[in-house]
Amino acid sequence: MYPQQIHQYIRRFFKENNCEIIRENDHFINVQLTVEMDKRIMNRPFYWKYLESTGDEPNPAQLTLITDKNRLQEAIAGEVVHYGSPRLNQLFQVTKELGSFVQMYERATTQSGTQTILTPWVGVNYKITYSSDRTQETLYSLGINLMTGAIINGFQESISGLNLESSISPNTFHLPYTIKPLRALERLDAVIENQIQHDDHTWAEEAKERLRKDLLVLEYFYRGIEDEDRPECYESEKKAMEEQYETRIKVEIINGGLFYLKSI
């Protein structure tokens, strides 16, 4: 996940949760949190408990996130976020908690007497995790046109600059979809499965090789001892190693939605 993708995700996250963007450029963003968002992500329960007991005016925090430290030219004090950082993972989790599926309409600015036609899309953000004793995570953002079946990668980036609303604009109507959303989701799942099949899986073979070497070391310490005479700790250590190096593939849907668009 590139810095610009992270920046776009963070920007949309705060806008959709009614947090005012005070200042930003392509490499950092400064936002004024709402009371609800402060309670969710700033981890200061005693402050809010005190306010509730005294009735004082709430003062939610401002948050500055730096999305590309290497290109930041100003002296900005803030929290550096990158893929895998605790703050970004926290925002992913909050997105899940607040609702992983949305229905949005692109805002239309039309001249009087004209109508705007919106096309239905399903967009889904996936996370693929390859794990053993090491972990590799990759994000994929896919979109499928519910009229034509056309699939695009980078869907989140494609809509990041659009003005999306939860209700349809006046003088605007959307086409009925010919592909049902559940069927569309199945097609996107198939794309992800195909991606996994074509990925380089030498990581799994390397994990098995590391396990083999560690088991050889374990056997060395217990050489000369018959299997029935080996202590219980031998089996527990061996089992722990096998669990540590076990190869796993996990696919998660971070969020998704039904989008009615005119610009894609």
Tell me the pLDDT tens digit for each residue of 44-85: 888 888 888 888 888 899 999 998 888 887 788 889 998 888
Coil, strand or helix at 2: coil
Whether 123 and 236 share a structural domain: yes
Phi then psi for residue 131, to 5 deg, are -140, 145
**pLDDT score recorded for residue 244:** 93
Whether 174 and 142 share a structural domain: yes
Position 205 confidence tier, pLDDT thresholds 50, 70, 90: very high
Contact between residue 254 and residue 100 where contact means Cβ atoms under 8 Å apart? yes
**pLDDT score recorded for residue 190:** 94
Take residue 112 and report the two structure tokens written for it: 């009087």
The residue among 3, 1, 5 whose CA lies nearest residue 159 is 5
d(CA 47, CA 42): 10
The residue among 171, 167, 165 whose CA lies nearest residue 112 is 171
Whether 120 and 184 share a structural domain: yes
Sequence-distant (6+) residues with CB within 8 A of 214 are 241, 245
Q: Please give the residue range of the domain that contains residue 57.
A: 3-99
- Single out the residue in 79, 99, 119 at which a domain terminates: 99
Whether 214 and 116 share a structural domain: yes
Least confident stretch, 36-50, 93-107, 170-184, 185-199: 93-107
**Which carries the bigger pLDDT value, residue 1 or residue 225?**
225
**Which carries the bigger pLDDT value, residue 168 or residue 195?**
195
Whether 84 and 108 share a structural domain: no
Whether 92 and 175 share a structural domain: no
Whether 105 and 217 share a structural domain: yes
Average pLDDT over the chain, rounded to an integer: 88
**pLDDT score recorded for residue 8:** 85
**pLDDT score recorded for residue 18:** 85
Whether 89 and 107 share a structural domain: no
Take residue 180 and report the two structure tokens written for it: 């049902």
d(CA 2, CA 134): 21
**pLDDT score recorded for residue 124:** 93
**pLDDT score recorded for residue 107:** 86
**pLDDT score recorded for residue 103:** 86
Whether 119 and 90 share a structural domain: no
The single residue listed with the structure tokens 């989701």 is 185
Least confident stretch, 52-66, 89-103, 139-153: 89-103
Coil, strand or helix at 170: coil
Indicate the number of domains in the chain. 2
**pLDDT score recorded for residue 237:** 92
Q: Which amino acid is at 174?
A: H
Whether 10 and 126 share a structural domain: no
Burial 146-181 (b: 16+ CB within 10 A, else e): beeeebeeebbebbbeeebeeebbeebebeebebeb
pTM: 0.66
Position 41 confidence tier, pLDDT thresholds 50, 70, 90: very high
Residue 110 has pLDDT above 70, yes or no: no
The residue among 121, 255, 155, 138 whose CA lies nearest residue 198 is 138
